[in-house]
Amino acid sequence: MVEKTFDNELGAGGETHQRVPEKGSHSAEGHLTTNQGIRVSDNQNSLKSGSRGPTLLEDFVLREKIFHFDHERIPERIVHARGSAAHGYFELTQDLSGITKADLFQRKGEKTPVFVRFSTVAGGAGSVDTPRDVRGFAVKFYTKQGNWDLVGNNIPVFFIQDAMKFPDLVHAVKMESDRAYPQAGSAHDTFWDWASLMPETTHMLTWAMSDRAIPRSLRTMEGFGIHTYRLVNEAGKSTFVKFHWKPKLGIQSVIWDEALKLQAADNDFHRRDLYEAIASGSFPEWELGLQLFDEEFANSLPYDVLDATKLIPEEVLPVKIVGRLVLDRNPDNFFAETEQVAYCPANIVPGIDFTNDPLLQGRLFSYLDTQKSRLGTANFHQIPINAPKCPVMNFQRDGQMQMNVPKGRANYEPNSLSAHGEDGGPRECPVTGFHTFEKSSGVEEQGDKLRVRAELFADHYSQARLFWKSQTPSEQAHIASSFVFELSKVALEQVPPRMVGNLLNVDEDLAKRVADGLGIDMPKKNPPARDAIDMDASAALSIQKNMKETIEGRKIGILIADGSDAKILKGLITDIKEAGATPFVVAPKVGKVVLSDGQVIKADGQLAGSPSQIFDAVAILLSGDGCKMLLKQGAAIQWAMDAFGHLKAVASNPDAQPLLDKAGVEPGDGVVPLDASFLRAAAKRYWDREPNVRMLA
């Protein structure tokens, strides 16, 4: 049984309606057409062989739509334009030879070179690092069998189920086409109009409205391959796999007010953090984890593993740690490497293969095409950052910016030139060459040519409900408040009630909090295409439940002024470094700070240019006179106020107390004296403090 979805034609109350063209529409009769004028019968689903089969190359509607989308902008990436990257290696810690024949997974302890690029999605190359957005997490493995690109995000699911909708998603979330704003933000009419008409986005929206979309740093993000892939062993046996990257430092986020102020404090906050961590020898590290399962397990689940809007909770299927990723070298040149690197999910090696996920199937076409447009030549693979580190031999020739100089006449195959003493070139190898996995269950992947989605794809709310249930009360408040903030920016009156009508299918309390926050009446629930089911909460989906209480890799701000105690300052800096964190001394002036013993030092940063939001915890070390002077500086008062308001540990000596009082820093957890208790306090955030410092939905 299959279901043809028309989610984008649901009205606010869930009723279906026929679109009525406006005057001036591209088609006088209001019919959607291809660029050749051919009317389109279905703009929601790509053409597949059966409801769960592969996407067909003959789908000229999909190919034209994505082809045109891929070539809309030159030269920056259409999405993921703002990125930061680093070199490193992947080290295998568990032998996987029984599961896959991929060479990089055969020998425990072997290291494979990698280049990793992190990015925001919606903003342009000149936008800021810290908007509310999904983050790209793309890894290029330079294996002995060729390049493998694992191109994912910091969120394990996506907005859409079918690649047919990708251009619509990005058009909706990008700057509005008639005014070119907002930049790098989803809080505007077109995004929420589209998303509220597409219930399949609901699960991803709950993630995007959570703190996952405002990470503390690139070093403290999880990464996911999103799709279900296959691993294939030497015997030809297939195992389904989902890829997970887990940060060594644990998952960390900022809060929304902090993210906003970071955009003003440092446009390059994440880029700078990654660069400085590597330059200082504090190499970012992640564990690679796999969720491995077979067809029988997949069929037992109440959702479809080919649906990119769904995940498998770790409590249902544990993640097996098999290796580690270490980034240990910054790029030598940003343009040559970070900007010119080209990732493509179609780049795989023997032992890894695709599934029929319709979003993945479309990506396999799209990326290669867009790289040619962006980099200007079919020879982009010869750019050093993209070039494999193993031999490349084929009969592809010429093209713009050809860097190789092939010798001889052999530029076709088969040929018999070698029989005449000439080099006949390479030949296919049935033994070691890549073989596409052949379905071994005896069920052939064939069927009618249909624009449909499999039946379970119609469940748009169960996993959104799962994610909501899995959060702490603080995280739920952040999600609800984010929906309120984003929807408050929407001027189209029909959109907020329609979105709340969708949220009623997730959780009534969530919907009520959003409606109350917007000051609108509670709408009727939008009838779901398929009733939601309740699943057990998953602690693995919460940031706060998984944060590591450590200051390793963190940055601690120390506010001083003339007369600050030299001995205490020296001891504090030493203790912070020994704990694996970075101390950063802030003063009203960078140069010539005179300490209590007469020593003159230079601060790391000036007060107005080093606000407390760039730190994970703060210490305030002042003399009586120094405190009196800072009481007249708004930047100093704001420094303490923001640290407290952003739920960080705040330590101080007695002479600094008047500054804390003026900043409204109240006694409580995380507000500690400047002694040994500070480093313990600095290892976490104080979520219980939040209701006292801001209103949340």
* DSSP 8-state assignment for residue 83: E
Query: What is d(CA 246, CA 321) in angstroms, rounded to the nearest whole number?
Result: 9
10 Å CB burial of residue 237 (0-12, 13-18, 19+) is middle
Pairing mode, if any, of strands 582-587 and 650-652? unpaired
Cα of first residue to Cα of last residue in the chain, in angstroms, is 41
∠ at Cα 621 (616, 627), nearest 5°?
A: 120
Beta bridge partners of 91: 111, 324
Could you give the strand order of the β-sheet that contains 582-587, starting from the edge strand earlier in sequence?
Answer: 605-606, 582-587, 555-559, 617-620, 650-652, 671-673
Query: What is d(CA 649, CA 689) in angstroms, rounded to the nearest whole number?
Result: 11
Give yes or no for a contact between 652 and 621, defined as CB atoms under 8 angstroms apart. yes
- Residue 668, CB-side half-sphere exposure with 13 Å CA sphere: 16
Query: What is d(CA 379, CA 371) in angstroms, rounded to the nearest whole number?
Result: 10
Q: Of the candidates 288, 264, 268, 267, which has an alpha carbon nearest to the alpha carbon of residue 276?
A: 268
Q: Of the candidates 146, 360, 155, 135, which has an alpha carbon nearest to the alpha carbon of residue 240?
A: 360
Query: What is d(CA 417, CA 410) in angstroms, rounded to the nearest whole number?
Result: 7
Give yes or no for a contact between 611 and 584, defined as CB atoms under 8 angstroms apart. no
Query: What is d(CA 253, CA 287) in angstroms, rounded to the nearest whole number?
Result: 19
Catalytic residue among 153, 347, 502, 653: 153
404 catalytic residue (yes or no): no
Number of C-beta neighbours around residue 578 at 10 A: 9
In b/e form, how buried is each residue of 520-555, taking b as 16+ CB within 10 angstroms?
eeebebbebbbebeebebbebbbbbeebbebbebbb
* DSSP 8-state assignment for residue 21: P
Beta bridge partners of 454: 2
Largest CA distance in the chain: 93
87 catalytic residue (yes or no): no
Pairing mode, if any, of strands 229-232 and 238-247? antiparallel
Query: What is d(CA 360, CA 366) in angstroms, rounded to the nearest whole number?
Result: 10
Structural tokens at position 459: 């469940």
Catalytic residue among 45, 80, 244, 502: 80
Catalytic site positions:
80, 153
